[in-house]
Structure 1
Amino acid sequence: MTRHSPALPHARHLIDGQWRDSATRTPSVNPATGRTLGTFADGGAPEAREAVAAAHRAFTSTGWPRDRRLRARALNELADQLAARRARFIELLARENGKTLTQAAFELDLAIPKLRYYAALALTDHGRALEAGPGLYAMTLREPAGVAGIITPWNSPVVLAVRALAPALAAGCTAVVKMPGQVGLTAGLFSETVASAASLPPGVVNTFTESGNEGAPWLVASPDVAAISYTGSTEVGRTIMERAAPTLKSLSLELGGKTPMIVFGDADLDAAVPVLTRAITTFAGQFCMAGSRVLAQRSIAGELRERLVNELSAVKLGPGDDPATEMGPLIDAAAAQRVDEAVEEAVAASAEPLLRGERAGAFLGPSLLEVTEPTAAIVQREIFGPVATFELFEDEPEAIASANATPFGLAAAIWSRDVDRPLRVARELTAGTVWTNTWAVVLDESEEGGYKQSGLGRLNGPQALHHFQETKHLIHPVDGLPR
């Protein structure tokens, strides 16, 4: 008797409450093994047009924009559906994205409560009302902007989709979510989650996946899209600003980062070194807040250098779904080669390799490069891999100047036992998030975003709603009263 292997899964788009396929079916590949995991419908401009039309109809013809209780119920239901699929998402992210099981779980456990937080905010509002003159009343109201276009990156596709979608829905917008082709099956499971939320009217949330670059530019340029939320590179962020200019739509851009991890002489190295190691290797360094710059005060630089090299050398590489793995592969072999070449260029340009990671397929071990000038290309560029520079400073002013010496300003961390120093230094850092004696702590309740070329706007917290809203001023004179 012949045994047949079970058919591989195929992921489709979700548009206007219906499943949609595409003429192109693209394989999804496990970067650790090279094996095909399944296929996904690979869309583009036609899917983007159809999704925007559906979202526009839902915004103009349903009660969604004005029904707060419906929005809160739908967001809580999305959280329930995501929680019900938590184990499936973790397994799929580990295989398709290369994350370790622990890191995949971390992503899901950030996403689920975020939906519940914005479900609560959907029921709240704020504005102002006053009697501007006798019988002349004025008030301001927040209203949903319209259709939100959300362009999601592959490195943390679930939580970063939710981070923009949750406030957009809470604000009363309808949405089109462009999911990344590198994680096409994860995108399909996300679409399944959306489809399972019965409280969502058809067309309120539409998803399509593409590996090319046709649908996303169409979203940015469309006059029927009122707001764009994009997470990704600074280079693409500039292009989005250019293409959005003719329609003057609202933009939220979280872009590149080059996080300085400033370690002062009085830091607790026993606590700092393991976190510095995770900051370099989490998601294989494919993280906008990766701790890609270690700034060490000279008094402890020798000890920190030695301990950090030892810790990074001991990191165990392996497939993401192996529980023993501490760092998985990069998203694909091409990414590993690109990062490896950046390290090679830096060494050729005078960086001292304290540790040089070896490459095999999509796997690339951690690298630590000592540099003497903050103007070096390896310091100024976002590498997006398990690579960090090691830089020295003498005192607080030099640490601040060095930390601020890149075009990025997304995040920073300060390590010190001094109770006042972290606040004193943080005040001078041009970064949207500054941690003290920790790293990668992100709160639903607190805004997150970048200074300088790390982006525009803020996500998380109440302020995230503003990107998806307009402010309307109402003036109401009362008849018969003097004005």
Structure 2
Amino acid sequence: MSPQTFTKQYINGHWINGSSEKYVDNINPYTQQTIASIPSANEDDLNKAYQAALNSQGSWMTTAPGEKRACFDQLLKVVYDRKDEIIDWLVKEAGSTLVKAEVEFQAAVGIIRESAGFPTRMSGQILPSNTPGKENRIYRSPKGVIGVIGPWNFPFHLAMRSIAPAIATGNTVVVKSASDAPVTSGLLIADLFEEAGFPEGALNVVVGRGAEIGDAFVKHPAAKLISFTGSTEIGSHIGELAGKHIKETALELGGNNAMLVLDDADIDQAVEAAAFGKFLHQGQICMSLNRIIIHENIHDIFVEKFKEKVESLKAGDPSEKDTVIGPLINKEAVERIQENLKESIGRGAEIVTGGEADGNVMQPTVLSGVTNDMPIAKNEIFGPVAAVIKVVSETEAIEVANSSPYGLSGSIFTRDVHRGVEVAKRVETGMIHINDQSVNDEAHVAFGGEKESGLGRFGGEWALEKFTTVKWIGVMKNGYRYFPF
């Protein structure tokens, strides 16, 4: 399909123009040039998309598991056949470096592979009853229509993380793609599903500003669950709307992830892991390391080695093979981070390296002398700035890590794995990794956060549980029940 098609909405198997008078400009964050202007969807388009999903859900739900699996097998083939196109879009639309785009592509493939098995994993149960002659049957079924709000940072993978398991478990889906990455978070995925042979209405994609269709997307009566990946502020608003309308949510929100480098850590390995966990995709990942908490005994040598490593990372054009640091998503992100940087320096933090920006490309930056109350440590930076915090003990390291409203991911470095696990148990987070960095996502493992980092879990059996519901059917199979009146 030609790129021009990606200026349309995808509703009920057809590519149509958005009905709004407004446009969504799809901008390359590196060149800052407009790729295309997309006529926005309005509420009429949104209603059509939800109606299409509702109309097709009954027949898709009853499609044989083998047929569903065949669609996903074909989807995998299509995705691999069009890998270069997918990578190209991730680079030019989301500012992905080639390394990040490859990581994202493989993560999305993992989700598709895992989801392909869901149609035959829709198992129920038969439980005994205290009533003579009765048995209790538990049937599992899809929830119905799922609303997915796509993110812009890992758009292809994180949208697919909800779309694939939702459809594999017999639901149909309406996606509101991210305005900053409308193709890779929705339109391109629709095109792949269409080529793979999924039925009309199984997947629908609308592109529109949140101010115009955002609340209506969440409140629409057809949607039984809203899946959102993004900021805690927007997630809180979605949760409030969903609660008012008695809708379930799957919310993967912000993070202020910490790496705890204990006094017995392998410093060289910790440096390598910290560089990847902080600077992959310019730190624009919910799981990125935001704070690096170092024991005072090894602080200075860690900072020296980390500075050397970070200064070796090339920043610039994300389409060049050796670029590690590409552009931030837009000018506003650069300005926000620079303001956080300036205020933190004014309060005593020191720049070890970096700090400057050229257009939307910001140098990888390391700050030392940081305290937990400085903006650069307190806020989710979502950019290429590493805040190094010195502590005097393991206990203080844990206290600093936990002094945040977020709790998504994390990392601990120590030569004593048992010690690492015991420390990990005390860190208030949904995910944490020993002698590894914080950016990990495996399709079969529970993914999600605690506190203000979200609700629910994605991945494997947890995703299957999230996108389905169960019904208790009691059966008097031997005779009839006696009632006292």
Q: Shorter-normalised TM-score: what interval?
A: over 0.9
- Could you tell me which residue of structure 2 aligns to residue 13 of structure 1? 9
Asked if the contact 2:104/2:154 (under 8 Å) is kept, the reply is: yes
* Partner SS state of residue 281, structure 1: helix
1:32 equivalent in structure 2: 30
In the alignment, the residues of structure 2 paired with residue 184 and residue 142 of structure 1 have an alpha-carbon distance, to the nearest angstrom, of 33
Cα distance in structure 2, aligned partners of 1:135 and 1:66: 33
| In structure 2, C-alpha distance between the alignment counterparts of 1:135 and 1:365, rounded to whole Å | 72
Is the CA contact (8 Å cut-off) linking 2:179 and 2:209 kept in structure 1? yes
Q: Which residue of 235, 242, 257 maps to 1:259? A: 257
Q: Report deviation, 1:337.
A: 1.5
**1:28, distance to aligned residue in structure 2 (A):** 2.4
Q: By how many angstroms is 1:360 displaced?
A: 1.5
Whole-angstrom distance in 2 between the partners of 1:463 and 1:94:
31
Structure 1 residue 481: Cα displacement: 6.2
Given that 1:64 and 1:70 are in contact with CA atoms closer than 8 Å, whether structure 2 keeps it comes out as no
1:83 to 2:80 alignment = yes
What secondary structure, in the 3-state scheme, does the structure 2 residue paired with 1:443 have?
coil
CA contact (8 A) 2:24 2:207 kept: no
20-29 or 289-298, which deviates more = 20-29
1:3 corresponds in structure 2 to: none
User: 2:149 aligned to 145, 151, 164, which one?
Assistant: 151
Output one character per residue of 1:34-72: Cα deviation in whole Å (capped at 9) or x when no partner.
233333343243322211111111124x24356333322
SS at match of 1:150: strand
Shift of 1:447: 0.6
Kindly indicate whether the alpha-carbon contact (under 8 Å) linking 1:280 and 1:366 is maintained by their aligned counterparts in 2: no
Report if aligned partners of 1:366, 1:387 keep a CA contact under 8 Å in 2. yes
1:106 pairs, out of 94, 103, 112, with 103
Partner residue, 2:189: 190
The aligned amino acid for 2:70 is: R
What is residue 417 of structure 1 aligned with on the other side?
Answer: 415
What's the TM-score, normalizing by structure 2? 0.93
Identity in percent: 31
Provide the rounded CA distance (Å) in 2 between the counterparts of 1:274 and 1:44. Answer: 47
Asked whether the equivalents of residues 61 and 142 of structure 2 are also in contact (C-alpha less than 8 Å), the reply is no
Instruction: Output the amino acid matched with 2:77.
Output: D
Q: In 1, Cα distance between the equivalents of 2:45 and 2:272? A: 45
In the alignment, the residues of structure 1 paired with residue 470 and residue 102 of structure 2 have an alpha-carbon distance, to the nearest angstrom, of 38
Match of 2:449 in 1: 450
Structure 1 CA distance for aligned equivalents of residues 394 and 164 of structure 2: 40
Q: Do the aligned residues in 2 keep the contact of 1:412 with 1:433 (CA within 8 Å)?
A: yes
Say if 1:65 and 1:247 are closer, same or farther in 2 by CA, change over 3 A: farther
Distance 1:293 1:231 in 2: 22
Q: Which runs of 5+ in 1 are unaligned?
A: 1-5
Compare 280-289 and 365-374 and name the one that shifted more.
Answer: 365-374
2:310 equivalent to 1:312: yes
Provide the residue aligned with 1:94 in structure 2.
91
Distance 1:370 1:472, change over 3 A: same
In the alignment, what sits opposite 1:477? 476
Instruction: Tell me, in whole angstroms, the C-alpha distance in 2 between the residues paired with 1:17 and 1:224.
Output: 18
Partner of 1:332: 330
Change (3 A) 1:204 1:382: same
CA 1:328 to 1:455, structure 2 compared with 1: closer, same or farther past 3 Å?
same
Which region of structure 1 is more displaced relative to structure 2, 220-229 or 305-314? Answer: 305-314
- Residue pairs, 1:286-297, within 5 angstroms: 286-297=284-295
Please report how far the alpha carbon of residue 372 of structure 1 lies from its aligned counterpart in structure 2 after TM superposition: 5.0
TM-score by length of 1: 0.94
d(CA) in 1 for partners of 2:164, 2:65: 13
Count of residue pairs brought into register by the alignment? 476
Alignment partner of 2:355: what SS?
A: coil
Counterpart of 1:331 in 2: which secondary structure?
coil
Q: How does 1:38-437 map to 2 (within 5 A)?
A: 38-60=36-58, 62-65=59-62, 67-132=64-129, 133-186=131-184, 187-198=186-197, 200-437=198-435
- Tell me by how many angstroms 1:482 deviates: 6.7
What is the alpha-carbon root mean square deviation over aligned residues? 1.9
Give, in whole Å, the separation in 1 of the partners of 2:84 and 2:376. 38
**Shift of residue 208 of structure 1?**
1.5
SS at match of 2:206: strand
1:182 match: secondary structure: coil
The Cα shift of 1:10 comes to 4.5
Residue identity opposite 2:461 in structure 1: P
Aligned counterparts of 1:72 and 1:250: Cα–Cα separation in 2: 26
Q: Per-residue displacement from partner, 1:257-294 (whole Å, max 9, x unpaired)?
A: 01101111221122221221122211111110111110
Contact 2:5 2:15 in 1 (8 A): no
Q: Equivalents in 2 of 1:63, 1:294: separation in Å?
A: 48
Query: Offset of 1:455 from its aligned partner?
Result: 0.2
User: Residues 340 and 375 of structure 2 are in contact (CA less than 8 Å); yes or no, is this contact kept in structure 1?
Assistant: no
What is the one-letter code of the residue matched to 1:158?
A: F
C-alpha distance in structure 2 between counterparts of 1:246 and 1:44, whole Å = 23
